[in-house]
Amino acid sequence: MIAVVQDRYGPPARTLRVAQVEVPRPGRGEVRVRVHATSVHADIWHVIHGRPLPLRFMGSGLRRPLPPIPGTDVAGTVDAVGSGVTAFRPGDRVFGSTVRRHEWVHCGAWAEYAVARDDRLVALPADTSFAQAATLPSAGHIALQNLRDDVRAGPGRSVLVNGAGGAVGSIALQVTRGRGAHVTAVELPRKLDLVRRLGAEQVVDGTADDFTTHVGRYDLVFDVPGTRPYRRCLRALAPGGRYLTIGHEAYGRRGNRILGIMPGFFALMLRARFDERLRGPGTPLPDRSTTLAELGRLLHEGVLDPVVDRVLPLDRAVEALDVLTSGANVGAVVLAPNP
Ligand SMILES: NC(=O)c1ccc[n+]([C@@H]2O[C@H](COP(=O)([O-])OP(=O)(O)OC[C@H]3O[C@@H](n4cnc5c(N)ncnc54)[C@H](OP(=O)(O)O)[C@@H]3O)[C@@H](O)[C@H]2O)c1
C-alpha cells in the first residue's frame, strides 16, 4: 500500500515522502480500515518536527519518529477484523482513532490502510462524509475531555470560546451550544462568519476586542490559542466561573524552542491546586472510547456539523501541512488516501 513515511524529524518538505509499505495486519481486538479520509492537525506537526523536545522521550524515538507513518484519525470502511472483534464487519462505514497510548507519536493513519482498536471506532452516520468525520476524533477528544459534564457549559450558562473557528474550538462551540449554553466566540476576522454559522450568539474579533475586558461575564472560558495572559483571562469569569486552557504553540511561533508552551501549562497545573477557577488535578478524564461514542452520538443528533476547508490526496501531505501552518484554511484540512 501507499503511505506517507518519515525517517527523521524536521520540516515536512525535507522529511516526508510517499512510499510503498506493507499493509498492516489487525491483531486481536483490532480492525483494519481502508482509509478514505484522515485529518491534518497541530499535534501531527509537533511529532513531525520532534518538538517540543520532551515528546521524543514519550515513545516517539530520540533520533527519528517511530513508528514512521503519521496520522491519528481515520474515516473509511472496515477492510478486515482481528480475532475477538464482533462489533464490526468488512464494509462497515466507520470513523475513529488509531492512537494507542497517546498522540505524541505517529499513529499510522496517513496510509491507504490503518489499524485501530475496535473500541476506538464508531459507526459513521449515513449523512456524514468521510472527510467530515475524519476531523473529529483527536480534536473532539480534547474538547470533550476538557468540557466533560461541567455544569458551567449547561443550559442558560454563559460560555466564551477563544479560537472558536479552529479544530478544537469549533467542536467546543457546537457542543456547548448543543447543551444549551449562550456562546460567545472569539476569532480572527476571516473566521467570524464561520463561528456565526456554527451557532455563536456573540462574535468577537480577537484582533480588535480584548475579551479579558469583559469583566465577570462568563461561567466558562474555553481558551484554545492562549493569546492573553491567563491572569487577565480570569477577570472575564463570573463568580464561580472556570477557565479551561488548551494551549497552542502556533507551529513554533509561540513558546520556548525546547519546551514549547509546557512551562506555562505546568505553572497553571500547579496553580490549579489552590485556585478553584482552574480545574484541579485528580478529576477523572474520559477515555478515547467514551469521547468517540459521544462524538458519534452528537453527529447522529446533528449537534456537530464538521467544516472541511479542503481535501487533498496523500501525496500532497506537505502542501496540506503548509496550508495548516500558514492559517490559510477556514475549516479542517483532510487527506484522502483512497479518494
Ligand atoms: N486538531 C486536533 O485534532 C488536535 C489534536 C491533538 C492536539 N491538538 C492540540 O490542541 C490545540 C488546539 O489545536 P487546534 O487544532 O484547535 O488549533 P487551530 O485549529 O489552529 O485553532 C486555533 C484557532 O485560534 C485562532 N486564533 C489565533 N489567534 C487568535 C486570536 N488572537 N484570537 C482569537 N483566535 C485566534 C486560530 O486562527 P488561525 O488559524 O488563523 O491562526 C485558529 O482558528 C493545539 O495545542 C494542538 O496541538 C489538536
Identity of the residue numbered 22 = E
Compute the distance from residue 1 Cα to the ligand 1 centre, in Å.
32
Give pLDDT, residue 250.
Answer: 92
Atom 21 of ligand 1, residue of closest alpha carbon:
166
Give pLDDT, residue 255.
Answer: 82
pLDDT in tens, 153-187: 999 999 999 999 999 999 999 999 999 999 999 99
Atom 46 of ligand 1, residue of closest alpha carbon:
42
Give pLDDT, residue 189.
Answer: 97
Give pLDDT, residue 265.
Answer: 85
Give pLDDT, residue 191.
Answer: 98
Q: Contacts by 254-261 with C-beta closer than 8 Å and gap 24+?
A: 254/226, 255/52, 256/52, 257/51, 258/52, 258/53, 259/52, 259/53, 259/54, 260/46, 260/51, 260/52, 261/52, 261/226
Give pLDDT, residue 164.
Answer: 98
Compute the distance from residue 258 Cα to the ligand 1 centre, in Å.
20
- Tell me, yes or no, if the two domains 2-138+287-336 and 149-271 fold the same way: no
pLDDT at 59 over 90: no
Look at residue 62 and give its three-state secondary structure: coil
Share of the chain above pLDDT 70, in %: 100
Ligand 1 contacts (CB < 6 A) are: 39, 41-43, 103, 138-139, 142, 162-163, 165-169, 186-188, 191, 206, 224-225, 227, 246-248, 327
pLDDT in tens, 249-304: 999 898 888 898 898 888 898 998 889 999 877 778 899 999 999 999 999 999 99
Give pLDDT, residue 257.
Answer: 82
Atom 28 of ligand 1, residue of closest alpha carbon:
225
Specify whether the CB–CB gap between 232 and 212 falls below 8 A: yes
Residue with cell 505553572: 267
Identity of the residue numbered 331 = G
Atom 32 of ligand 1, residue of closest alpha carbon:
206
Atom 15 of ligand 1, residue of closest alpha carbon:
167
When the candidates are 3.40.50.11390, 3.90.1170.10, 3.30.930.10, 3.40.50.720, the CATH number that belongs to 149-271 is: 3.40.50.720
Instruction: Kindly state the average pLDDT of the residues 73-91.
Output: 98
Give pLDDT, residue 283.
Answer: 75
Show the cell assigned to 48.
513531525
Helix (H) or strand (E) holding 304: none
Compute the distance from residue 82 Cα to the ligand 1 centre, in Å.
36
| Domains of the chain by residue range | 2-138+287-336, 149-271
Atom 20 of ligand 1, residue of closest alpha carbon:
166
Q: Hey, what CATH class is 2-138+287-336 in?
A: alpha beta
Show the cell assigned to 131.
472527510
DSSP state of 120: G
Largest Cα–Cα distance in the chain? 57
Give pLDDT, residue 280.
Answer: 78
pLDDT at 325 over 80: yes
Specify whether the CB–CB gap between 306 and 330 falls below 8 A: no
pLDDT band of residue 106 (cuts 50, 70, 90) is very high
Specify whether the CB–CB gap between 337 and 35 falls below 8 A: yes
pLDDT in tens, 231-248: 999 999 999 999 999 999
Instruction: Kindly state the average pLDDT of the residues 307-328.
Output: 97
Average pLDDT over the chain reads: 96
Give pLDDT, residue 60.
Answer: 87
Can you spell out the DSSP letters for 125-147?
Answer: PTTS-HHHHHTSHHHHHHHHHHH
Give pLDDT, residue 329.
Answer: 97
Atom number in ligand 1 closest to CA 73: 3
**272 or 225: whose pLDDT is higher?**
225
d(CA 18, CA 4): 4
Comparing CA positions, the residue from 202, 239, 243 lying closest to residue 220 is 243
Give pLDDT, residue 284.
Answer: 81
Atom number in ligand 1 closest to CA 139: 3
Look at residue 52 and give its three-state secondary structure: coil
pLDDT at 67 over 90: yes
Is this model's pTM higher than 0.95 or not? yes
Count, residues in the chain: 339
